[in-house]
Amino acid sequence: MAEFDGIDIIEDELYEDSQEGDALWLSTRFEIKAMLGLTKLPDLQGILFAIGLQELGQLRDEFTKEDRQDLMHIAVCRLLSYDGYYELEGYDEDGWPHWKQLAVPPAGRPQQEVLLRKKIAEYIDHVKNS
């Protein structure tokens, strides 16, 4: 029996152990690696951090652990806002965005990661075409 390596999404359908879904996610990671000039492929958390930085629009030499978590939250909210899960409420005095949750994303870590992978691919396509 084949070993389960996760759930992937291809054109809005879930597939288990999908080579095509794995290839799409791998291709997205390679694009991000090239865009950011990285030496190794970024993982999901690293990609969320980078998207959070992009959305925040502020560069600093250092971020606290809490700041890094907030940056990943900004990324998740931005990505899920495209499907109506979150709405931007505004910015605080430090320029950090604040989001309002409008709907509950799919339950379960595998389903959430599948959705985030899909949204990351869409986000990268949007960035490339902007």
Over residues 68-77, the pLDDT tens digits come to: 999 999 999 9
Q: By the 8 A CB rule, do 24 and 7 touch?
A: no
Q: Range with the lowest mean pLDDT among 20-24, 31-35, 98-102, 123-127? A: 20-24
- The pTM assigned to this predicted structure is 0.81
The percentage of residues in the chain with a pLDDT greater than 90, rounded to a whole number, is: 60
Instruction: Give the total number of structural domains in the chain.
Output: 1
Question: 101 pairs with which residues across the strands?
Answer: 86
Q: By the 8 A CB rule, do 75 and 64 touch?
A: no
Tokens standing for 3?
A: 């070993």
Tokens standing for 62?
A: 């250092």
Per-residue pLDDT reduced to its tens digit, 5-50: 444 444 444 444 455 667 778 889 999 999 999 999 999 999 999 9
Residue 2: inside a domain: no
Residue 56: inside a domain: yes
When pLDDT is cut at 50, 70 and 90, the band that residue 2 belongs to is very low
Residue 1: inside a domain: no
Give the range of the structural domain holding residue 66, as residue numbers without chain letter: 7-128
Cα(first)–Cα(last) distance of the chain, in Å? 45
Nearest Cα to Cα of residue 110 among 26, 2, 8: 8
Residue 75: inside a domain: yes
pLDDT score of 111: 82
